[in-house]
A and B are shown apart, each in its own frame.
Chain A
Amino acid sequence: MLEAQDLAARRGYSQLFTGLSFRVAAGEALVITGANGTGKTTLLRMLAGLSAPTEGIIRWEGRPVAPFDAGLRHALAFAGHSPSLKDELTAEENLTLLVELAGEPVERGAIHAALDAVALGRKRALPARVLSQGQRRRIGLARLRLLRRRLWILDEPVTALDAAGTSLLARLVAEHLDGGGVAVAATHAPLGLPEERVRALALA
C-alpha cells in the first residue's frame, strides 16, 4: 500500500535521514519513534505529500506519488501538529467544515454522533477557543472517525489526550486497521496496538 524507497531529507545544512526504505501493507501501522529533531514530522509531511523528499520515491498503491498528488489527496487523512481548528467557530462547525473540506458528505446526525463518541456532545455549540487542548484533540479524533480514508498520517496523536482519549484513539486506529486501512504515526507513547500489526521505525 504505502512504500518508501531510499528517502532522504535535508533541512538547511543538516541531514535528517538517508536511505530510508519501508513498506506498509493494508491493515498495518507504521509507528515512527525517535528523539526530537530526528525528522519524524519531516518524514510524515513527505508521506502526506506536503513536501518533496530530497531524494527517494514514495509509492501509494504501487504508484509513485509527487507532492499534492490528486489520488493520494483522496485517500489521505492527515492530522498534523495542531488540531486545525478555527477559534471563532464552534466545535460542531469546525468538524462539519473539516469533513466538507475532505470532500465527504456531511450529515448533521453523523456529526453529532461523532462528537458524542468523543465525549464532546454537550460542548458542540461552544467556540473552539474555550475548549481545552485535549478537547481540541478529540475533535480531531471525531474527524478521523467520520472520514472514510484508507491512509491515516498522525503526528503525535497522543499529545494532550487523557487516558480515556488515548484508549479511544487506540480503538479508532485498531478499527481502521481492521478495515484494511493503513496508519502512520509518529509518537512517543505506545498506541496499544497488537504487535503483529505494527511496524516500528526508529529514527536517529
Chain B
Amino acid sequence: MHATGTEAVGVSASASEAVDRAAAGDAGGAILPAIRWSLVRDLRIALRSRAELGVQLLFYVIVVTLFPLATTPERNLLLTMGPGVLWVAALLASLLSLPRLFAGDYADGTLEQIALSPHPLPALVAGKILAHWLTTGLPVVVLAPLLGLQYGMPGDALLVLTVALLLGTPILSLLGAIGAALTLGLRAGGSLLALLVLPLYIPVLIFGAGSVDMWRAGLAVAGNFSLLGAGLLLAIVGAPFAAASAVRIAMD
C-alpha cells in the first residue's frame, strides 16, 4: 500500500513530500477544489432532503403573510412596514436554518474528517456557507418580490428590496456560520445561537430595510447598497476563517 524501499529513504521522502504538499495547501493551491468539494456535497445533500428546505421557505412565506392579516389592510401602513417585515422574516428564516449548517456533520462525525482534511479548512467552510446561502438565502431573495406584492409595493420598490436582500442575505449566512460553529455541541445551542447572531444581524437589517424607505423618501439608495456591499466583502474575507477556527475549537 505504501511506497517501499529502505525504511530511512521511505520516511524522509514521505516527510518532505508531506511538507511540500502542506506548503502548497497553505499557500492556497487547493482552495478552489476544497470550496467545490463542500459546495457540491452540501447541495447534493440538500436536494436529497428537499422537504426540510421547503419547510423553511414555507415558514418565511407564512410569517410574511401573517402581518397583513394580524394588523390592518390599510395600504399606506402596509407599504411602510412591508420591507421591514420581509427583512425580519428573512432573518428568522436564516436563523432557523443555521443549526443545520454544521450540526449534522458534527453529529455523524463528518466534521472531524473535514477538520482533519489536508484541504484548507476555511475553504471547506466557505463552500458549506455558499451552499447554505444557495439553498436558504437565494430562495428568500427570489420569493421577496412576490411577497412584496402583498404589501402593495410598487415595482421599483420591489427591485430595491430584492437588490438589498441579494446583498444582505449572504452576510446573514456568513455571520451566522460563525455563531453556528461556536455553539456546536452545546446543550442550548439553538437559542444561544439566536442570542449570539441576532445582534450581529442588526446593521444588515438597518441598511437593508432602510434602503426601501430611502427610496420612498426620494433619496439615493446607492449609499445603502455600497454599505451592504462593503459589509458583504468584509464578511466573505473574514467569516470563513472565523468559522473555521470555531470548528477547530468545537473538536476539543
- Show the binding face of A for B, using Cβ within 8 Å: 1, 26, 45, 48-52, 61, 67-68, 70-71, 73-76, 78, 80-89, 93, 97-98, 100-103, 127, 145, 148, 150, 175-176, 179-181
* Docked-complex contact A86 and B15, CB < 8 angstroms: no
Pair count A-B, CB < 8 A: 112
- Show the binding face of B for A, using Cβ within 8 Å: 1-2, 4, 7, 10-11, 14-15, 18-19, 21-23, 25-26, 30, 37, 41, 44-45, 48-49, 104, 107-110, 112-119, 121, 248, 251-252
> Chain A: which residue is nearest B114 at the CB level?
A101
> Chain A: which residue is nearest B117 at the CB level?
A101
Q: Tell me the minimal C-beta distance from B90 to chain A in angstroms.
A: 26
Q: Which 7 pairs across A and B sit closest by C-beta, in order of nearness?
A: A70-B22, A82-B109, A88-B48, A179-B2, A84-B109, A51-B252, A74-B18
* Docked-complex contact B116 and A49, CB < 8 angstroms: yes
Q: Tell me the minimal C-beta distance from A65 to chain B in angstroms.
A: 11
Contact (A50, B252) CB under 8 Å given A70-B25, A71-B19, A101-B117:
yes
- With a cutoff of 8 Å between Cβ atoms, the chain A residues found around residue B108 in the complex are 82-87
The one of A1, A50, A88 in contact with B116, judged by C-beta atoms closer than 8 angstroms, is A50
- With a cutoff of 8 Å between Cβ atoms, the chain A residues found around residue B25 in the complex are 70, 103
> Chain A: which residue is nearest B244 at the CB level?
A68
The CA of A75 and the CA of B49, in the complex, are separated in Å by: 34
The one of A50, A75, A76, A175 in contact with B14, judged by C-beta atoms closer than 8 angstroms, is A75
* Docked-complex contact B1 and A78, CB < 8 angstroms: no
* Docked-complex contact A148 and B2, CB < 8 angstroms: yes
* Docked-complex contact B4 and A98, CB < 8 angstroms: no
The CA of A136 and the CA of B209, in the complex, are separated in Å by: 48
The one of B41, B118, B252 in contact with A70, judged by C-beta atoms closer than 8 angstroms, is B118
> Chain A: which residue is nearest B17 at the CB level?
A74
* Docked-complex contact A181 and B117, CB < 8 angstroms: no
The CA of A75 and the CA of B18, in the complex, are separated in Å by: 7
- With a cutoff of 8 Å between Cβ atoms, the chain B residues found around residue A70 in the complex are 22-23, 25-26, 118
The CA of A98 and the CA of B115, in the complex, are separated in Å by: 12
Q: Tell me the minimal C-beta distance from A185 to chain B in angstroms.
A: 16
* Docked-complex contact B113 and A78, CB < 8 angstroms: yes
A-B contact pairs, 11 of them (CB 8 A): A26-B10, A52-B252, A68-B115, A70-B23, A71-B15, A74-B18, A84-B109, A85-B110, A89-B45, A103-B30, A145-B1
- Which among B23, B107, B115 has the greatest number of chain A C-beta atoms within 10 A? B115
